[in-house]
């Protein structure tokens, strides 16, 4: 095969699927998306119908294939939303709608699993605290609350692995998605027998684990007809969307930190050993790379809940700017205000907070607000507050040994020069905005090419990622932001008891 071979990446997201067609040289030929709904049959429930995933995948793939005049596809790679649960019966029919990661029904089961296994033992084994929406908690919920349905179950899959089964008829998972179930032994990169014993879960109900870049099967005739492709195309095992996003961003080295500013904020730090936080403030998951020299086989992830969400709240609820140029005006207003936002601090805890506080009671605060603070100060304070929250999350990664030499900034925040400068000045390292789009689907494409031997996965991920000009930190502003960050932390600590009491 040559650089003109075509590779198809499919990313099953939370609300839509993205299909990307690229050449083996990394040139995007076509891309398409198709949406599907989130279902909320009861308060706290979040479900989806797998058949709607399949319909959307068919629509998106047919669109990119039509746009490229039906080229021969060399391989298909997969990426998908993490943590969710698809249950199949003996006839390989779904027992219930898929329960996906935002689902909140299993709070009692989360507490029971953590108490039974022991929090520190759980963190050491699975690399993370268990949360609602994670497969381990969802399985226990079905066992406790829907035993008749659970009795029918013969296979448990995460969303991406359900899609691959529809494509190939083969059951499998990979370490990155296996890790996100919280049924996994991170160090062994396979199912944890103590966790399975705790849940009275038969090993035969879970798919075999294999590398993310391994060929998992070939496209069946039935699946080929649904997608408008030829039967027999190799389908690669694939990886979780966060792991694929890191590949697509070129964040495969331990000296590179991926920060995503979208609705929430994520920090992904590649690591070459299993290093967990025994206080449960971050997640440590397997990456899409196999461990080895120069291969970061795991990543640590911190998450904040309100990033772009906080800026959108300010736009809609406070400023009332609804025109198409609202964000440009907000950037200009923030840029006109000096670093430090005229003494104004903002805690971006609009919906509680995860890393590092794991505090659902945390609430937002504008601290130091006076008559002199105008719109620009408010906008800048929100941008700085979100950045401080990211830096607070990074403090946990740093405790565990992270020493990022540069930041790859992705998401909507990467398009703001003001936000990039605030990020560089706060962290004290250069920030490179990611210009690559649809990086999770691109990660799936990379796995497709590596899986059939067209290129090396890690080096090609670095070569394909595209960045804008680096934003360099200013030492004086870095010193100022260190002081402001200490004040930011202090506001939360002084008000934590009040938050909890309300």
Q: What is the helix (H) or strand (E) element at residue 21, kind and residue range?
A: strand 16-23
In this structure, the number of other CB atoms found within 10 A of the CB of residue 75 comes to: 26
Token pair, residue 147, equals 């035993």
Contact 261, 387 (CB under 8 A): no
| Cα(174)–Cα(179) distance, integer angstroms | 9
Distances (CA, A) of 132 to 79, 106, 108: 22, 5, 9
Q: Which residues pair with 34 in a beta bridge?
A: 17
User: Is residue 273 classed as helix, strand or coil in its secondary structure?
Assistant: coil
CB count, 10 Å around CB of 368?
A: 16
DSSP string, 79-124: EE-SS-BEEE-TTS-BSSPEE-TT--TTHHHHHHHHHHH-HHHHHH
> How far apart are alpha carbons 483 and 488 in whole angstroms?
9
Which residue bears the tokens 């990446």?
9
Q: Mapping DSSP to helix (H, G, I), strand (E, B) and coil, where does residue 278 land?
A: coil
Cα–Cα nearest to 308, from 409, 240, 408, 434? 409
Is 66 catalytic? The answer is: no
H helix or E strand, kind and range, residue 190: strand 190-191
How far apart are alpha carbons 246 and 442 in whole angstroms?
A: 10
Exactly one of 174, 241, 277, 425 is catalytic; name it: 241
What is the C-alpha separation between 493 and 86, in angstroms, rounded? 40
Q: Nearest 5°: phi and psi at 402?
A: -65, 135
Q: Which residues are catalytic?
A: 241
């Amino acid at each position: 095969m040559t650089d003109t071979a075509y590779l198809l990446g499919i990313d099953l997201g939370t609300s839509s699927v993205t299909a990307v067609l690229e050449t083996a040289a990394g040139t995007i030929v076509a891309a398409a998306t198709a949406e599907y709904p989130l279902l909320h049959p009861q308060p706290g429930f979040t479900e989806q119908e797998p058949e709607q995933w399949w319909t959307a995948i068919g629509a998106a793939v047919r669109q990119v294939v039509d746009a490229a005049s039906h080229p021969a596809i060399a391989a298909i790679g997969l990426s998908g939303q993490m943590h969710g649960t698809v249950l199949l019966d003996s006839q390989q029919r779904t027992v219930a709608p898929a329960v996906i990661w935002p689902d909140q029904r299993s709070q009692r089961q989360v507490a029971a699993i953590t108490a039974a296994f022991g929090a520190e033992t759980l963190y050491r084994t699975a690399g993370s605290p268990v949360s609602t929406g994670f497969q381990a908690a969802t399985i226990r919920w079905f066992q406790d609350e829907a035993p008749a349905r659970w009795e029918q179950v013969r296979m448990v899959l995460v969303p991406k692995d359900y899609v691959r089964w529809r494509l190939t008829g083969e059951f499998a998972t990979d370490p990155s998605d296996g890790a996100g179930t919280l049924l996994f032994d991170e160090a062994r990169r396979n199912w944890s027998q103590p966790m399975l014993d705790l849940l009275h879960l038969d090993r035969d109900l879970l798919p075999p684990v294999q590398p993310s870049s391994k060929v998992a099967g070939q496209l069946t005739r039935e699946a080929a007809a649904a997608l408008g492709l030829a039967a027999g195309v190799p389908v690669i095992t694939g990886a979780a969307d966060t792991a694929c996003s890191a590949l697509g961003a070129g964040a495969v080295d331990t000296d590179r930190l991926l920060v995503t500013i979208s609705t929430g904020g994520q920090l992904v730090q590649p690591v070459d050993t299993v290093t967990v936080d025994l206080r449960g403030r971050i997640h440590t998951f397997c990456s899409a790379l196999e461990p080895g020299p120069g291969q970061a086989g795991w990543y640590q992830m911190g998450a904040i809940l309100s990033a772009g969400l906080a800026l959108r709240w300010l736009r809609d609820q406070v400023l009332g700017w609804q025109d198409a140029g609202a964000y440009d005006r907000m950037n200009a207003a923030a840029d006109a205000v000096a670093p430090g936002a005229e003494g104004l601090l903002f805690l971006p805890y609009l919906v509680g907070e995860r890393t590092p506080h794991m505090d659902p009671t945390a609430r937002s605060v504008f601290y130091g607000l006076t008559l002199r603070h105008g719109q620009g100060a408010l906008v800048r304070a929100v941008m700085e507050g979100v950045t401080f929250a990211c830096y607070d999350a990074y403090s946990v990664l740093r405790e565990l040994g992270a020493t990022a030499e540069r930041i790859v900034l992705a998401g909507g925040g990467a398009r703001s020069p003001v936000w990039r400068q605030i990020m560089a000045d706060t962290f004290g390292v250069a920030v490179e905005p990611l210009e690559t789009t649809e990086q999770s689907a691109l990660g799936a494409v990379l796995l497709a090419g590596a899986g059939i031997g067209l290129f090396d996965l890690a080096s090609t991920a670095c070569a394909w990622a595209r960045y804008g000009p680096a934003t360099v930190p200013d030492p004086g502003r870095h010193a100022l932001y260190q002081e402001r960050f200490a004040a930011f932390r202090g506001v939360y600590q002084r008000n934590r008891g009040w938050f909890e009491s309300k």
